[in-house]
Amino acid sequence: MIAIYPGSFDPITLGHLDIIERGVILFEKVIVAVLCNPNKHSLFSVEKRVQQISQCTKHLSRIEVDSFTGLTVDYAKLHQAKVLLRGLRVLSDFEKELQMAHTNKTLAKELETVFLATNKEYSFLSSSTVKEIAQFGGCISHLVPINVAKDLQLYYGYNC
């Protein structure tokens, strides 16, 4: 069974990577799908995010990294996926994700959403938090894959 793990991944964090690594154990194939949202200002380009994810997941088999625009359910249908994989950190994530899962179900009845609770060590972690720490020169190497930490340090012009 194919699972789609959609998101902006701007940038990918160790929490995201944890969900990906656990997802490949559960599914035959996981497609990490980077959403190109023209209404959102991203730090890294879609191409750069795809490259970052590809690099930090090269140790995994049965994974594909791609990008898309439009509805996630349409992308899932195009790739014959039956599952959307989503990570949950805190209760507020659940409310938003449950609403999205119900909405997706109205658009594609055959598509299921599977939630994985993040490991507790990443429960506080978000891409926004990482960007804010990096913006002010804080060390982020324990929050993101090493290739992403280097890209963030280069972007903000500092070393940690």
Q: Convert the pLDDT of each residue in 81-113 to its tens digit.
A: 999 999 998 777 788 999 999 999 999 999 999
Paired with 86 in beta bridges are: 115
Q: How many independent structural domains does the chain possess?
A: 1
Detail the residues annotated as belonging to a binding site for ATP: 8-9, 16, 87-89, 97, 122-128
Detail the residues annotated as belonging to a binding site: 8-9, 16, 40, 72, 86-89, 97, 122-128
Q: In whole angstroms, give the CA distance from residue 80 to residue 75.
A: 9
What is the residue range of 7's domain?
Answer: 2-121
Asked whether 11 and 51 are in contact (CB, 8 A), the reply is no
Any domain includes 138: no
Q: What pLDDT is stored for residue 114 in this prediction?
A: 97
Any domain includes 106: yes
Tell me the catalytic residues: 16, 40, 89, 127
Any domain includes 147: no
DSSP for residue 96: H
User: pTM here?
Assistant: 0.94
Any domain includes 69: yes
Any domain includes 8: yes
Q: Convert the pLDDT of each residue in 45-55 to its tens digit.
A: 999 999 999 99
Any domain includes 38: yes
Any domain includes 146: no
The CATH number linked to 69 is 3.40.50.620
At residue 119 the predicted structure's pLDDT band, cuts being 50, 70 and 90, is: very high
